[in-house]
Amino acid sequence: MGAGRVRGGYLFFVLSVLLFCSPVFASAAPPAGLQVDEIRYGGGGRTTRIVFDLNQQTDFRAFLIDAPYRIVVDLPKAEWKTFKSRLISNNPVIKSYRSGELDDGLTRVIFDIKKPAVINNIFTIAKNGMDKDRLVIDLEPSSPNTFNAQKSRVFGNRQLHGSAAVKTPSGSGYAAIENDLVKAVIPGGTSKPSSILHKEQKIYTIVIDPGHGGEDPGAEASGAKEKFITLSVARELRRQFEETGRYKVVLTRDKDVYIKLHDRVAISRDVKGDLFISIHADKIDRKGVRGASIYTLSEKASDTETARLAEEENNAGFVAGVDLSQETQDVADILLDLAMREKMNESNLFARMLSQSLQRKNVQLLPNSHRSAGFAVLKAPDVPSVLIETGFISNPDEAKLLSSGQFQRNISAAILDGVDGYFRKIQALQKL
Ligand code: ZN
């Protein structure tokens, strides 16, 4: 990796060019917009270096987020001349990156890393002969503790804004490694990076899917029908969610009708749901068994689904915000896989929060209450999805409970609690 390293004989040549051509710098008008030409990797020893090749010098901001470990790099609105998302093979630290545009126009790049690593150094280098303007980030593997300690730090321009003016070359070659503003605003480093990006309160769209319906009654036992329990719970959920003013709720069905599984997923994708929750009630031969459980899509089922989707949607345009029509089959597969994995991470995070909130509200749970399976309704690649088995109607006591308004209010409050916790976490993680 040659970025940032100056080659001996070349230096003299470059210096001469700079000396004799300096009026060019003085008179050059600032270029129109930032452009990311390439993202390169390299390193030596313990250091992994990320280099952004750019068309001009720029302001930047970088910080760490965990669960999973990631590095976030924000730039002013930038045009991409290279892959917007990419899997990185053969790098000991970096797994992949993906980029997107924030609401205020900022360009955000997120690097997924294989293990905790901290930012050792981050700086810009002005263009130099054949080398372009660069943003260089040196990473060093660290302990989880060191990573956590650096999470509260913001490198670069903390106040970076989407419409921020792009810096003109300073001549020194190096921009701020960590500017004073950061230290001034985060005394003691106790603030979380999330606080700097506080946005307007977002209204999240929650898709609630009452299982079964119409000619498909679902499980039937102890005089109870699954399709009625799921619809009652879904309506109670909608009431409680809407009452908060923080959520918009879409039900996949609001009456006793049959809806295909595929159509339930389609609804969730059409309304651009932030979360999909499918409600069910279970039945088993052993009457003693009771308790709720939460399902997310299994890895294996997801792989099959990814392959199918990749095939089906290769020419169909956007999936999970990725324009697949512009990519080759290989790249489309990789991007879809990345999107799917990201949603699975989010689904798993939500399932964990849900399991905790159900316990807090004393909803009885099955042992190992978070499970995975290949449920068709969990297969939207763009919407984090979980399926809740609220309990077993094959257990007469639980059948009675599931049909009661009091239980339905309580489990709905628990689910709302889990959803609140999930979005707080997501906001803290500064998701795209
Ligand atoms: Zn069911």
Question: How confident is residue 169, by pLDDT bands cut at 50, 70 and 90?
Answer: very low
Whether 11 maps to a domain, the answer reads no
- The reply to whether 229 and 340 lie within a common domain is yes
pLDDT at 323: 54
The CA-CA-CA angle for residues 422, 424, 429, to 5°, reads: 95
- The reply to whether 263 and 370 lie within a common domain is yes
Q: How far is the CA of 281 from the centre of ligand 1 (A)?
A: 5
**Least confident interval from 16-25, 306-315, 411-420:** 16-25
Q: How far is the CA of 180 from the centre of ligand 1 (A)?
A: 57
- The reply to whether 382 and 240 lie within a common domain is yes
Whether 251 maps to a domain, the answer reads yes
Whether 5 maps to a domain, the answer reads no
222: containing domain: 204-431
Q: How far is the CA of 264 from the centre of ligand 1 (A)?
A: 13
For residue range 122-131, what is the model confidence (pLDDT) as tens digits?
998 988 888 8
- The reply to whether 286 and 341 lie within a common domain is yes
Whether 282 maps to a domain, the answer reads yes
- The reply to whether 75 and 125 lie within a common domain is yes
- The reply to whether 408 and 267 lie within a common domain is yes
**Distance, CA of 324 to CA of 316 (rounded, Å):** 7
Examine the pLDDT at 432 and tell me if it is beyond 70. no
Examine the pLDDT at 372 and tell me if it is beyond 60. yes
Q: Residue 254 belongs to a domain with what CATH number? A: 3.40.630.40
Task: Indicate if the alpha-carbon torsion angle 151, 153, 155, 160 is positive or negative.
Answer: positive
- Residue 33 DSSP symbol: S
Examine the pLDDT at 364 and tell me if it is beyond 60. yes
Whether 24 maps to a domain, the answer reads no
Q: What is the mean pLDDT of the chain?
A: 77
For residue range 22-63, what is the model confidence (pLDDT) as tens digits?
334 434 444 579 999 999 888 777 888 999 999 999 999 898
Examine the pLDDT at 348 and tell me if it is beyond 60. yes
- The reply to whether 100 and 243 lie within a common domain is no
- The reply to whether 337 and 414 lie within a common domain is yes
Q: How far is the CA of 178 from the centre of ligand 1 (A)?
A: 54
Whether 18 maps to a domain, the answer reads no
Burial class (CB in 10 A: 0-12, 13-18, 19+), 141: middle
- The reply to whether 128 and 236 lie within a common domain is no
Question: How confident is residue 187, by pLDDT bands cut at 50, 70 and 90?
Answer: very low
Number of structural domains found in the chain = 2
Examine the pLDDT at 314 and tell me if it is beyond 70. no
Whether 96 maps to a domain, the answer reads yes
Q: Residue 64 belongs to a domain with what CATH number? A: 2.60.40.3500
Q: How far is the CA of 343 from the centre of ligand 1 (A)?
A: 23
- The reply to whether 177 and 213 lie within a common domain is no
pLDDT at 163: 54
Q: How far is the CA of 367 from the centre of ligand 1 (A)?
A: 19
pLDDT at 360: 95
- The reply to whether 235 and 363 lie within a common domain is yes
Q: How far is the CA of 212 from the centre of ligand 1 (A)?
A: 6
136 to each of 113, 183, 233, 398, how far by Cα in Å?
A: 17, 21, 52, 59
pTM confidence score: 0.52
Whether 312 maps to a domain, the answer reads yes
Whether 238 and 414 have beta carbons less than 8 Å apart is answered as no
Mean pLDDT value across residues 332-347:
74
